[in-house]
Structure 1
Amino acid sequence: MTGLTGLSVPTYLAFCAAAIALILTPGPDTMYVLARGVQGRQSGIRSALGVATGVLFHTMAATLGLAALLRAAPVAYQVVKYAGAVYLVYLGISAIRNREFDPQVETSPDGSFRRGVLVNALNPKVALFFLAFLPGFAGNGPGTTERMALLGATYAVLTAVYLCLVALASRRAGAALESPRVSSRLSWVGGGVMVALGIGLAAE
């Protein structure tokens, strides 16, 4: 049984199962949404939607072949990798110093969203992952582009749903632990993990 794009239902369900397993694996996206969610529900949700939009960016890149450029051109890959690493370290240090969550940023509707997009889009490992992951389920032949777009959109939706739940759960945890000392420790933990992830990305 196949859908409009020629993608069989069993293949689509297998993709969804694999995608969910991968999405549940903690990484920079989850840590960033956690840190934002503790500060406020709207910030966390906007960050989650931003990350999901970054997934759509990687889907487009893989579909158009831009991700293949990163694989073929080591210099381009290194530039994107270090840019992503620096941005993660910046976010981590800002969270530790409590400047990432200043009122001016929080009142901007797109502040958290934009940062979420960048956290995901500046990770070249995600681009290469999509380049390898999507074609394995989309196959080749007529309709390949449409199938890859459908799979990427599905991954983005699943990512948005999961990270929005993470944002809501982290906000509840933050509300239950409202003492300045706990808030400071959470900032240190979340920020420290993001710094470590950035350093790890740069060192690979």
Structure 2
Amino acid sequence: MVDPILLLAFVPAGLALNLTPGADMMFCLGQGVRSGPRAALAASAGISLGAFVHTALAGLGLGAVVATLPWAFEVIRWVGVAYLLWLAVQTLRNTARADVPETTPRRAFRAGLFVNLTNPKVILFVLAFVPQFVDPTAGPVLGQFLIFGAMLALGGFVINGAVGVFAGGIGQQLARGSRVLDWISASVFAALAVRLAVLERT
């Protein structure tokens, strides 16, 4: 279904993009620092699922529709900003409560998924990057999008998860539940919210 030569070209290109520090990597880092390696891996899995969903929607043509509708782009963007700010505030509120447990892997997974799905920049990235490797003569376009999306998701899971696990190990060695770590995590979430708020559509 996918030309092997295109596949071989896609793998290093996709890994290079996965290795580029961005919002997803920083989010996993924040989750790792705050709640440890398991939460970081769960957040990475949620982000990867979100990336796969974006790719599937692009293959169906829905991503292009959203990208061309300014109001849809803005709605998605500001929902994401609000959610990231909410995470930052909740993290800071928890610093005053000693009985607040760490984020569970399930909650970290949901958070990672939601953060990725509400980042309209991912839609634009998928639409700009993946079609370069799609060959309409090689078979169903949607199937090719899904294959490439799965590869991006897998690479992202491994790389973002590794960053989060590393950060989680350091965070747990420093001090589990430390207020300093909560402030670091909250700062990461707030910075991502600001980044999303000021992004340009092009």
Scaled by the length of structure 1, the TM-score of the pair is: 0.85
> Is 1:196 matched with 2:191?
yes
Q: Which residue does 2:127 correspond to in 1? A: 131
Separation of aligned partners in 2, 1:32 and 1:26: 10
Separation of aligned partners in 2, 1:143 and 1:153: 16
Cα drift, residue 112 of structure 1: 1.3
- Which of 46, 51, 61 in structure 2 is aligned with 1:50? 46
Cα drift, residue 120 of structure 1: 0.7
Cα drift, residue 50 of structure 1: 0.8
| Structure 2 alignment gaps of length 5 or more | none
| Structure 1 alignment gaps of length 5 or more | none
- Which of 23, 31, 36 in structure 1 is aligned with 2:31? 36
- Corresponding residue SS for 1:110: helix
Q: Which residue does 2:85 correspond to in 1? A: 89
Runs (4 or more) in structure 1 with deviation over 6 Å come to: none
- Corresponding residue SS for 1:23: helix
**Where in structure 2 are the equivalents of 1:104-183 lying within 5 Å?**
106=104, 110-141=106-137, 142-178=139-175, 183=178
Separation of aligned partners in 1, 2:198 and 2:15: 28
- Corresponding residue SS for 1:131: helix
8 Å contact 1:84–1:198 — kept in the other structure?
yes
Provide, for residues 152-199 of structure 1, a one-character-per-residue CA deviation record: whole Å limited to 9, x for no partner.
00000111111221222112111221276xx43333233223212212
Residue type at the aligned position of 1:200? R
Cα drift, residue 15 of structure 1: 1.4
- Corresponding residue SS for 1:6: coil
- Corresponding residue SS for 1:126: helix
Cα drift, residue 105 of structure 1: 5.1
1:93–1:13: structure 2 CA closer, same or farther, 3 Å change rule? farther
Residue identity (%):
35
Residue type at the aligned position of 1:31? M
1:165–1:20: structure 2 CA closer, same or farther, 3 Å change rule? same
1:70–1:56: structure 2 CA closer, same or farther, 3 Å change rule? same
8 Å contact 2:39–2:103 — kept in the other structure?
no
Separation of aligned partners in 2, 1:73 and 1:165: 36
Q: Which residue does 1:18 correspond to in 2? A: 13
Cα drift, residue 98 of structure 1: 3.3
8 Å contact 1:35–1:190 — kept in the other structure?
yes
